[in-house]
Amino acid sequence: MTGSGSPHPWLGPDEAAPVALTVNGTALEVRVPPRRTLADALRDAGCTSVRLGCEHGVCGTCTILLDGSAVRSCLMLAVQGQGHHIETVESLAGGDGLGPLQQAFDDNDALQCGFCTPGFLMLIESLMRSEPGAGEERVREVVSSNLCRCTGGGPVVAAAQQALASNRDGR
Protein backbone atom coordinates (compact mmCIF):
# COMPACT_ATOMS: atom_id res chain seq x y z
CA MET A 1 0.00 0.00 0.00
CA THR A 2 2.87 2.34 0.66
CA GLY A 3 4.44 1.79 -2.73
CA SER A 4 6.92 -0.84 -1.72
CA GLY A 5 10.05 -0.60 -3.75
CA SER A 6 9.41 3.05 -4.42
CA PRO A 7 12.38 5.34 -3.99
CA HIS A 8 9.97 7.91 -2.61
CA PRO A 9 9.15 8.53 1.01
CA TRP A 10 5.55 7.40 1.23
CA LEU A 11 4.05 7.64 4.64
CA GLY A 12 1.75 4.71 5.32
CA PRO A 13 -1.94 5.24 6.13
CA ASP A 14 -1.59 4.91 9.87
CA GLU A 15 2.11 5.56 10.13
CA ALA A 16 2.90 8.53 12.31
CA ALA A 17 5.63 10.88 11.27
CA PRO A 18 7.14 13.91 12.97
CA VAL A 19 5.95 17.29 11.75
CA ALA A 20 7.90 20.36 12.80
CA LEU A 21 5.73 23.39 13.46
CA THR A 22 6.36 26.73 15.03
CA VAL A 23 3.44 27.59 17.27
CA ASN A 24 3.30 31.09 18.70
CA GLY A 25 7.02 31.44 18.21
CA THR A 26 7.96 28.16 19.84
CA ALA A 27 9.09 25.04 18.01
CA LEU A 28 6.61 22.20 18.35
CA GLU A 29 7.01 18.73 16.93
CA VAL A 30 3.88 16.64 16.60
CA ARG A 31 3.77 13.00 15.55
CA VAL A 32 0.78 12.39 13.30
CA PRO A 33 -0.48 9.97 10.69
CA PRO A 34 -1.18 11.65 7.34
CA ARG A 35 -4.93 11.89 7.78
CA ARG A 36 -4.91 13.87 10.99
CA THR A 37 -6.08 17.44 10.41
CA LEU A 38 -3.98 20.35 11.57
CA ALA A 39 -6.85 21.40 13.84
CA ASP A 40 -6.88 18.02 15.59
CA ALA A 41 -3.09 17.94 15.85
CA LEU A 42 -3.03 21.40 17.45
CA ARG A 43 -5.79 20.45 19.86
CA ASP A 44 -4.01 17.22 20.77
CA ALA A 45 -0.92 19.30 21.47
CA GLY A 46 -2.89 21.38 23.95
CA CYS A 47 -3.94 24.31 21.77
CA THR A 48 -7.59 23.85 22.66
CA SER A 49 -8.44 27.43 21.73
CA VAL A 50 -8.54 26.02 18.21
CA ARG A 51 -12.14 24.85 18.25
CA LEU A 52 -14.08 22.61 15.91
CA GLY A 53 -17.51 23.83 14.89
CA CYS A 54 -18.06 22.07 11.60
CA GLU A 55 -14.86 20.38 10.38
CA HIS A 56 -15.73 21.26 6.80
CA GLY A 57 -14.48 24.78 6.46
CA VAL A 58 -17.66 26.82 6.83
CA CYS A 59 -17.92 28.08 10.40
CA GLY A 60 -14.41 29.41 10.95
CA THR A 61 -14.14 28.56 14.67
CA CYS A 62 -10.81 26.81 13.93
CA THR A 63 -9.25 29.86 12.24
CA ILE A 64 -5.54 30.28 12.96
CA LEU A 65 -2.78 32.29 11.36
CA LEU A 66 -0.51 30.35 9.02
CA ASP A 67 2.57 32.39 8.22
CA GLY A 68 0.57 35.46 9.22
CA SER A 69 -2.59 34.83 7.19
CA ALA A 70 -5.93 33.55 8.49
CA VAL A 71 -6.71 29.97 7.43
CA ARG A 72 -9.13 27.24 8.51
CA SER A 73 -7.09 24.68 10.37
CA CYS A 74 -9.75 22.00 9.76
CA LEU A 75 -9.03 22.34 6.04
CA MET A 76 -5.38 21.43 6.39
CA LEU A 77 -3.66 18.19 7.17
CA ALA A 78 -1.17 18.44 9.98
CA VAL A 79 1.54 17.19 7.62
CA GLN A 80 0.94 20.27 5.47
CA GLY A 81 2.01 22.39 8.42
CA GLN A 82 5.61 21.18 8.14
CA GLY A 83 7.95 24.13 8.55
CA HIS A 84 5.20 26.73 8.89
CA HIS A 85 4.55 29.38 11.51
CA ILE A 86 1.25 29.07 13.31
CA GLU A 87 -0.34 31.61 15.60
CA THR A 88 -3.31 31.03 17.84
CA VAL A 89 -5.20 33.28 20.22
CA GLU A 90 -2.61 32.63 22.91
CA SER A 91 -0.27 34.91 20.95
CA LEU A 92 -2.51 37.97 21.29
CA ALA A 93 -1.80 38.90 24.89
CA GLY A 94 1.00 38.34 27.32
CA GLY A 95 0.59 37.83 31.06
CA ASP A 96 -3.02 37.38 32.04
CA GLY A 97 -4.38 40.48 30.35
CA LEU A 98 -6.05 41.27 27.07
CA GLY A 99 -4.52 42.65 23.90
CA PRO A 100 -6.12 45.66 22.19
CA LEU A 101 -8.18 43.53 19.83
CA GLN A 102 -9.44 41.35 22.66
CA GLN A 103 -10.23 44.49 24.63
CA ALA A 104 -12.25 45.79 21.67
CA PHE A 105 -14.30 42.58 21.74
CA ASP A 106 -14.94 43.06 25.44
CA ASP A 107 -15.91 46.71 24.96
CA ASN A 108 -18.36 45.91 22.17
CA ASP A 109 -19.95 42.80 23.70
CA ALA A 110 -18.71 40.90 20.68
CA LEU A 111 -18.81 37.57 22.48
CA GLN A 112 -21.36 35.59 24.43
CA CYS A 113 -20.68 31.86 24.63
CA GLY A 114 -17.08 32.42 23.54
CA PHE A 115 -16.81 29.33 21.36
CA CYS A 116 -16.34 31.17 18.07
CA THR A 117 -14.30 33.97 19.66
CA PRO A 118 -10.71 32.72 19.17
CA GLY A 119 -11.44 32.09 15.48
CA PHE A 120 -12.86 35.58 15.02
CA LEU A 121 -9.91 37.13 16.85
CA MET A 122 -7.40 35.43 14.56
CA LEU A 123 -9.44 36.33 11.48
CA ILE A 124 -9.43 40.01 12.42
CA GLU A 125 -5.83 39.92 13.57
CA SER A 126 -4.83 38.90 10.05
CA LEU A 127 -6.93 41.70 8.58
CA MET A 128 -5.30 44.23 10.90
CA ARG A 129 -1.88 43.16 9.69
CA SER A 130 -2.61 42.94 5.98
CA GLU A 131 -5.10 45.77 5.58
CA PRO A 132 -4.72 48.22 8.45
CA GLY A 133 -6.75 50.76 6.52
CA ALA A 134 -9.73 48.46 5.88
CA GLY A 135 -13.03 50.34 5.84
CA GLU A 136 -16.41 49.31 7.27
CA GLU A 137 -17.51 47.45 4.16
CA ARG A 138 -14.33 45.42 3.91
CA VAL A 139 -14.41 44.68 7.64
CA ARG A 140 -17.96 43.42 7.36
CA GLU A 141 -17.05 41.26 4.39
CA VAL A 142 -14.11 39.69 6.20
CA VAL A 143 -16.06 39.22 9.44
CA SER A 144 -18.69 37.35 7.40
CA SER A 145 -16.06 34.62 6.89
CA ASN A 146 -16.94 33.18 10.30
CA LEU A 147 -20.19 32.37 12.05
CA CYS A 148 -21.32 33.70 15.43
CA ARG A 149 -24.60 32.20 16.54
CA CYS A 150 -24.92 34.32 19.69
CA THR A 151 -24.44 37.86 18.37
CA GLY A 152 -24.94 37.38 14.64
CA GLY A 153 -21.60 39.12 14.09
CA GLY A 154 -22.69 42.77 14.16
CA PRO A 155 -20.87 43.48 17.46
CA VAL A 156 -17.81 41.68 16.03
CA VAL A 157 -17.78 44.19 13.16
CA ALA A 158 -17.92 47.01 15.69
CA ALA A 159 -15.08 45.50 17.70
CA ALA A 160 -12.95 45.03 14.59
CA GLN A 161 -13.50 48.63 13.56
CA GLN A 162 -12.56 49.87 17.01
CA ALA A 163 -9.39 47.79 16.98
CA LEU A 164 -8.43 48.96 13.48
CA ALA A 165 -9.07 52.57 14.41
CA SER A 166 -7.02 52.46 17.60
CA ASN A 167 -4.28 50.68 15.68
CA ARG A 168 -4.19 53.52 13.17
CA ASP A 169 -4.24 56.19 15.88
CA GLY A 170 -1.47 54.47 17.75
CA ARG A 171 0.93 54.46 14.83
Partner 1 sequence: MKPAPFAYAAAGTLDEAVELLGEAGEDAKLLAGGQSLLPLLSFRLARPSHIVDIGAVEDLDSIHEDHGQLRVGALVRHATLEQADLHGPWRALKEAASLIGHLPIRVRGTLGGSLAHADPAGELGVVAAALDAEIVLRSVRGLRTVPAGAFFLAPLMTAADADEVLVEARFPAPGDGFRSVFEEFSPRAGDFAYASVAAGCRMADDGSAHDVRLALGSVGPTPLRAREAEEALSGSMLDDAAIVEGARLAAAGCDPAAGDWHAGGEYRRALVANLVERALRRLRQPA
Partner 2 sequence: MSGPRSRLIGSPEPRRKNRELLRGEGTYVADIRLEGQLHARVVRSPAAHGRLLGVDTSEALGIPGVVAALTAADIDDIRIPIRLPFAESPEANRVLQAPLATDVVRYVGEPVAVVVADDPYAAEDAAEHVLVDIDELEPVLDLAASSESSQPLVHEHFGSNTVNRLAYRYGDAAAVFEQADVVVHRRLRVHRLAAAPMETRGLVADFDPASGVLTVWGGAKVKHFTRGLLSTVLGLEPTDVRVIEVEVGGGFGTRGEPYPEDILVALLAQRLQRPVQWIEDRWEHMVATNHAREQEHDIEMAADRDGRLLGFRVRGWCDHGAYVRTQGLLPAVLPMFHLPGPYQWQAFSMDLDAVLTNRTPVGTYRGPGMTEATFIRERMVDLVAAELQMDPVQLRRRNLIAEESMPFTFMPGPGSGAVMPIMYQGGDFPAAFDELLDAAGYDQLRDWRREARSGGRHAGVGVSAYIEFAAVGPFEDVDIVGDDQGVVIKAAVGSLGQGIETALAQIAAELLDVPLDDVAVEFHDTAELPQGFGAFASRSTVLAGNAIAAAVDEMRAKAAHLLGCAPGEVEFRGGVATGGDRGSVRLAEIGPTRGRFEKEGLTASFGGAVCSVSVDPADGRVRVHRFALAHDVGRAVNPRLLRGQLAGAAAQGIGGALFEELAFDGNGQPLSVTLADYMMPTAAELPDVEVAIIEHGSGSNPLGIKGGGEAGMVGSFGAVANGVADAVGEGAEVLSSSVSPARIWHALNDPSEPAGTGKPAQEA
Is 142:124 a contact under the CB 8 Å cutoff? yes
35 near partner 2, judged by CB under 8 A: yes
Question: Which residue in the set 21, 23, 77, 159 belongs to the binding site for partner 1 (CB under 8 A)?
Answer: 77
What is the smallest separation between the CB atom of 14 and partner 1, expressed in angstroms?
6
26: left (phi over 0), alpha (psi -120 to 50) or beta: beta
- Phi, psi for residue 42 in degrees, rounded to 5: -65, -45
60 near partner 1, judged by CB under 8 A: yes
> How would you write 132-155 as a 3-class SS string?
CCCCHHHHHHHHCCCCCCCCCCHH
Partner whose footprint covers residue 79, from partner 1, partner 2, none (CB < 5 to 8 Å by kind): partner 1
In angstroms and rounded to an integer, the radius of gyration of the C-alpha atoms of the chain is 18
Is 116:60 a contact under the CB 8 Å cutoff? yes
Q: Which among 35, 39, 38, 37 has a CA at the least distance from the CA of 50? A: 39
Question: Which residue in the set 72, 102, 120, 151 belongs to the binding site for partner 1 (CB under 8 A)?
Answer: 72
82 near partner 2, judged by CB under 8 A: no
Binding segment (CB under 8 A) for partner 1, from list 22-30, 97-105, 110-118, 136-144 = 136-144
Question: Which residue in the set 3, 112, 130, 135 belongs to the binding site for partner 2 (CB under 8 A)?
Answer: 112
CA dihedral 76, 82, 87, 89 (to 10 degrees): 50
> What residues make contact with partner 1 under the rule CB under 8 A?
1-3, 6, 8-14, 33-35, 37, 40, 55-57, 60, 63, 66, 69-72, 74-77, 79-80, 82, 123, 126-127, 141-142, 144-146
> What residues make contact with partner 2 under the rule CB under 8 A?
14, 33, 35-36, 40, 43, 48-49, 51-56, 58-59, 61, 88-90, 92-93, 96-98, 102, 105-106, 109, 111-118, 121, 140-141, 143-157
